[in-house]
Amino acid sequence: MKPKTKLIDRTLVLTTLVCILPILFSLSVYDRLPEQVPIHFDASGNPDNYAHKAFAAFGIPLLLALFNLILQLGLKFDPKRDAKSRIYHISRWIVASVSLLVMPITLLIALGNDIPVERVVPLFVSLLFLILGNYLPKCRQNYTIGIKLPWTLASEYNWNKTHRFTGWLWTAVSIALLAGLLLNLNSALLFMIAIPLLAFLPIIYSFVLSFREPDETP
């Protein structure tokens, strides 16, 4: 019998605090922020959506903290979670990492700093794919992390094979993305090619594998 899951643990508290940590920076620059702050950018790094500075400075970190709490509880109360796996712990820190990256960049751009967001964000996403790709092959069956399809959830053999394939795929594609970004290739074009590969090839592989699965799985 598994030990009872604690509702609140150290990681939940730390990640939530990290999510709202940028509020300290928001307070220090709030008086200098314009009334409308850019909160979304197109592929060329030009702002295409704005929000009132109060929402940008305080609302976004609080929303990210809420998303983090939802993610933490979903992961913690997954009955098939592997709490000792690296990918489990990495997943618990994703939202907090996004908050630490996105919030300072958003406010610094609003203050007039020239930050190549069209490069910084794709680099962060590519690194995230690289890290996840490295640990996906070690991911055991669960309901919150990984390639959760009818065929993978129904078969441990399919799950393991699909995640080994996906791990190699995500690692290779993320390395190609990083190389392309460092060579100053068009990030939008790179991701238009990469995202369908990352999303659909594992699904196709898993589906085809479901018809080839041996009668007795190891």
Instruction: Spell out the domain ranges in the chain.
Output: 7-114, 116-218
For 164, how many CA atoms within 13 A lie in the half-sphere containing its CB?
A: 6
User: What angle, rounded to 10 degrees, do the helices at 22-29 and 60-76 form?
Assistant: 180
How far out from the chain centre does Cα 63 lie?
16
Q: Which residue shows structure tokens 């690194």?
A: 127
pLDDT in tens, 169-185: 999 999 999 999 999 89
The C-alpha R_g of the chain, in whole angstroms, comes to 20
What are the φ and ψ backbone dihedral angles of 41, each rounded to 5 degrees? Answer: -135, 150
pLDDT at res. 218: 44
Mean pLDDT of 93-122: 93
Report residue 4's pLDDT band, with 50, 70 and 90 as the boundaries: low
Residue 217 pLDDT more than 50? no
**Tokens read off for 46:** 């030009």
What pLDDT is stored for residue 29 in this prediction?
95
Query: In this predicted structure, what is the pLDDT of residue 41?
Result: 87
Q: 15 and 70 in contact (C-beta within 8 Å)?
A: no
Question: For residue 15, what pLDDT is reported?
Answer: 96
Residue of 67, 68, 56 lying closest to 23 (CA atoms) = 56
- What b/e readout covers 185-204, taking b as 16+ CB neighbours within 10 angstroms? eebeebbeebeeebeeebee
Which residue type does 58 have? F
Q: 3 falls in which pLDDT band (50, 70, 90)?
A: low
Residue 5 has pLDDT above 80, yes or no: no
Residue written as token pair 């190699």: 168
The answer on pLDDT for 213 being more than 80 is no
**What pTM was estimated for this model as a whole?**
0.85
pLDDT given at position 180? 94
* 117-160 residue pLDDT tens: 988 999 999 999 999 999 999 999 999 999 999 999 999 999 99
Residues, the chain, total?
A: 218
Q: What pLDDT is stored for residue 2 in this prediction?
A: 53
Question: What are the structure tokens assigned to 156, written together?
Answer: 């441990």
CA atoms in the 13 A half-sphere facing the CB of 107: 26
| Model confidence at 55: pLDDT above 50 | yes
- Token pair 């399809």: residue: 149
Q: Is 72 helix (H, G, I), strand (E, B) or coil?
A: helix
Classify strands 36-41 and 47-52 as parallel, antiparallel or unpaired: antiparallel
